[in-house]
A and B are shown apart, each in its own frame.
Chain A
Amino acid sequence: MNERVAEKALKAAEQAGADEVEVVMESSHDMEIVLKRGEIHSEKDCRTAALGIRTVVSNKHSFTSCNLPYPSIDSLAKHGVFLAKKNVQDPYWHHLPMKNTPVEVKDIYDPSLAHLTPDQLFAYAHILLSTVQSVEYVEVKEGHIHIADETFFLINNHAVSGQFKTTTCEVDLLCTANRSGHAECMAYDYFCSKTADFNLEPFAHAVAQSARNGLDAKKLPHGLRDSLLLMPDPVSQVLFTPLAWAVNAESFLWKTSPFSESMGDQVMSSLVSVVDDGTLPGGYGSRPMDGEGNNTACTPLIQEGVCTGLLHSEYTSNIAGCVSTGNAIRTATSDVTVGPTNFMVQPGDASLEELLAELGTGIMVERFSGSVDVTTGLFSGVCRQAHYIKNGEICYPVKEPTLSGNAFHGVRSIQLLGDSAVPEYQGIVTPACLVDGITLSP
Chain B
Amino acid sequence: MSIILQYLYNGHLEEDVMEDIVLHSDAEHAILRKKERRIIMLIFKDNRPDTVTSTFGNGYCAQALVQGSWGFASTTQKEHMKETLERAEFLAAHSRRYKLRKIELYPVTSCTGTWESPGITEVNEATITELCELIRSCQEEVMGLPGIISSTININIITDVSHLWTSQGSSIAQRIQRIVGTMSMVAREGGDMASYYTEFGGQYVSELMSTDLLREKSMHCGKICQNLLHRSLPPSKSTEVVLDPTLVGFLVHEAVGHAAEADIALSGSCLLGKSGHRIAPESVSITDNPQYPSGPGSYGYDEEGVPTQPTMLIDEGMVSGFLHNRETAHIMDAVPHGHARAWNFSCEPVIRMSNTYLNSGDYTFSELVEQVQDGYLIAAGHMGGESDYNGEFTIGTGYCEKIDGGSLTGEIFKGPVVTGNAFQVLNTIEGIGNQDLFEMRAATCGKTQPAFVGVGGPPIKTCVTVRGGG
Contact = CB atoms under 8 A, between A and B. Distances in A.
Contacts of A30: 346
B219 interface: no
Contacts of A380: 233, 416-417, 467-469
B128 interface: yes
B73 A48 contact: no
A141 interface: yes
A249 interface: no
B21 to A, nearest CB: 17
Nearest to A34: B448
Contacts of B467: 370, 380-382, 402, 404, 441
Given A86-B128, A86-B129, A375-B193, A48 B59 contact: yes
Contacts of B415: 371
Interface stretch (A13-21, A62-70, A162-170): A62-70
A255 B128 CA distance: 29
Contacts of A40: 95, 98-99
Contacts of B166: none
B52 A63 contact: yes
A49 interface: yes
A91 B45 CA distance: 13
B396 A186 contact: no
Given A45-B72, A256-B149, A370 B98 contact: no
A38 to B, nearest CB: 8
A104 interface: no
B470 A439 contact: yes
B364 interface: no
Contacts of A362: none
B414 A378 contact: yes
A48 B468 contact: no
Interface in A70-101: 70, 76, 79-80, 82-84, 86-88, 90-92
A46 interface: yes
B186 A256 contact: yes
A335 B42 CA distance: 11
A222 interface: no
Contacts of B193: 256, 258, 375-376
B238 to A, nearest CB: 10
Interface string A401-415: 010100000000000
Contacts of A404: 233, 236, 467-470
Interface in A223-264: 250, 254-256, 258
Interface string B63-92: 000000011111111001000000110110
Contacts of B76: 47-50, 67-69
Interface stretch (A118-126, A351-359, A417-425): A118-126
B140 to A, nearest CB: 11
Nearest to A82: B125
B291 interface: no
Nearest to A118: B94
A2 B232 CA distance: 56
A382 to B, nearest CB: 5
Nearest to B188: A255
B419 A86 contact: no
B72 A44 contact: yes
Contact of A37 (B73, B87, B266): B266
A238 to B, nearest CB: 12
Given A376-B193, A380-B233, A255 B150 contact: yes
Interface of B: 45-46, 48-59, 61, 70-77, 80, 87-88, 90-91, 94-95, 98-101, 125, 128-129, 132, 136, 149-150, 186, 188, 193-195, 233, 236, 263, 266-268, 346, 348, 382, 386, 388, 390, 394, 396-397, 414-417, 419, 448, 467-470
7 contacts: A40-B95, A62-B52, A64-B55, A118-B90, A333-B57, A375-B193, A404-B470
